[in-house]
Structure 1
């Protein structure tokens, strides 16, 4: 994801490769440097010898490369590492909708048995499987994005302050809303996506205390199809626009393209996530995306691979928050130019500690 391990894995890889992402975490408008991770290299010469023999394995979340969001951000970090660090070889495998924990384990084992080191798992859904497989291969360095539970001496946890970036786009939504009514659509109701909702609501209320905020999740765990169902995203957003909302923020992975379609049909506005989706979404939908909450997974992936090349990989948590430049908001299209000063004021207050952004809705 028939009989032996490699037969299963070949089938899994083939099935995964047939998946098509729709739209949801990506590149930054300008290169960002994490304050808590290794700085990008100023030249490949020092890193190249250490990285030249590296075979990097990357296991995507649902949607894979081409989702225009979360997975594409990871892919951008890998591509940068290929270019700047002279990696010997890379292998990218995709997840499938509704797959079992065993399928995730087998995907990671395929990479480990194939001699890939380091291996990066994209998304919290790999938490249990990565912890198990990493223990089986103690000499391989593993990293996981968005999960702090899978711990071990050879596991690096790459985490983000999604609530801080979401505060900024929540403030933007309230400042741009003409109806005092906005919406949030999450892909799956899990604690990680709740961080996006909590920050968004706090930012909107910081601008307008009595603003109306609607929230909806597209699926409940263990059903993770809410990250890859544009039709569900469109239906949910249509309901919000019909009810009077004029700005909707989506943290729904590939389902986000449906939200953008609904915004266009309703003459409303949408907010993208992870990547600068005014650059990555379908051309006819980019104009409805007033801003995106940038979650710079590309930076985290590159930083981890750079540290591997430099032989400085550390187990445990590396945090990418607003102060470190790990999250932000985008300005592509100029739709938030008139409120940028206000958003940057909020940003500085969060960085200084004057504003503490909640990471839970309750």
Structure 2
């Protein structure tokens, strides 16, 4: 039986999304405890989510799937804590320390914003294994789980260029940091390598240390609507749960397509009413990285260093759900082969 510490009910969503949501990401830490399965035996998994938490239908949910799989197959329990948009560095450190003090091992920090906190707390708890998603930290007990987002986003750009009827597409990023700029860089390159005439609008929802762009569906909806009004007919959003709002806006525009991110958003129950407008999703298999790490700890051989999940290794891919890219699949396969073979070098900065 799954035993997971329940998240708070707080959520951020547009009115329409709130009505249809099946789950909603928390924006506050949850300090409730969980009981280990198997009579106290098994691995105790600590998860420190980024803003949005479990239920964001994107990035955090992918990490959650990896932990859920580990819990089911390996036994044990999960403890979940979720970041707030107002978090300070001290808040992130305290979240990891609380998990370590409670005996959770491994501890998975979901998101680049935890990098400084992992550096500090991992050094204080050398016998605890820490996993960090989307950033690289040096440490004998740290496993950095990273992905070639730019490669998957390149394929999303190829798809957008082949599907646009207006030669005009868009990219919405949650926060203008180096990680999200990898998504932008790959996407724009994929678009222009496929058709140099296609215009690409780019917009970020928040800047610097303001991470609200990852958990504001209303901002995502407004940004997407602005791009649609400006003539774009394919919009790719890399912005956590803010992308839910962008997908909603695209669904309201006849002939327009949304490209999802991180999870296969066509198959997310809370987005079911919009799935006819989801062309594809750039899937980032965070769940695979998280499961691999947890299993390595369970097996007594914890992964460390920087483990990169690339296009060649299936770390990133384009979802085929809905069959909307079936007609262009040969061209997508050709582009993928060129990336894997090294014929195409995908940029990591715009």
TM-score, normalization by structure 2: 0.88
Q: Which residue of 2 aligns with 1:17?
A: 8
Q: Which residue of 1 aligns with 2:165?
A: 178
**Correspondences of 1:195-274 after superposition (within 5 Å):** 195-267=182-254, 268-274=256-262
Pairwise CA distance, 1:52:
4.8
Pair 1:351-2:333 in alignment: no
Q: Which residue of 2 aligns with 1:134?
A: 122
Pairwise CA distance, 1:128:
0.8
CA separation of 1:250 and 1:234: change in aligned 2, threshold 3 A: same
**Correspondences of 1:281-300 after superposition (within 5 Å):** 281-300=270-289
The CA deviation string for residues 302-348 of structure 1, in whole angstroms up to 9 with x for no partner, is: 01011112222132100000001000000111110100111011111
**Correspondences of 1:1-362 after superposition (within 5 Å):** 17-20=8-11, 52-86=41-75, 88-148=76-136, 150-267=137-254, 268-280=256-268, 281-361=270-350
Unaligned runs of 5+ in 1: 1-12, 24-48
Unaligned runs of 5+ in 2: 15-37
Pairwise CA distance, 1:109:
0.8
CA contact (8 A) 2:43 2:74 kept: no
CA contact (8 A) 1:54 1:89 kept: yes
Pairwise CA distance, 1:103:
1.0
Q: How far, CA to CA, are the matches of 1:291 and 1:110 in structure 2?
A: 39
Pairwise CA distance, 1:287:
1.2
Q: Which piece of structure 1 moves more, 259-268 or 193-202?
A: 259-268
Q: Secondary structure at the match of 1:17?
A: coil
Pairwise CA distance, 1:159:
0.4
CA separation of 1:151 and 1:18: change in aligned 2, threshold 3 A: farther
CA contact (8 A) 1:22 1:67 kept: no
Q: Secondary structure at the match of 1:355?
A: coil
CA contact (8 A) 2:13 2:217 kept: yes
Count of matched residue pairs? 321
The CA deviation string for residues 124-179 of structure 1, in whole angstroms up to 9 with x for no partner, is: 0111111111111111010100001x221111100000000000010000000001
Q: Which of the pair has the greater relative contact order for Cα pairs under 8 Å at 6+ separation?
A: 1
Q: How far, CA to CA, are the matches of 1:52 and 1:245 in structure 2?
A: 54
Pairwise CA distance, 1:20:
2.8
CA contact (8 A) 1:174 1:211 kept: yes
The CA deviation string for residues 228-259 of structure 1, in whole angstroms up to 9 with x for no partner, is: 01111111111111111000000010100110
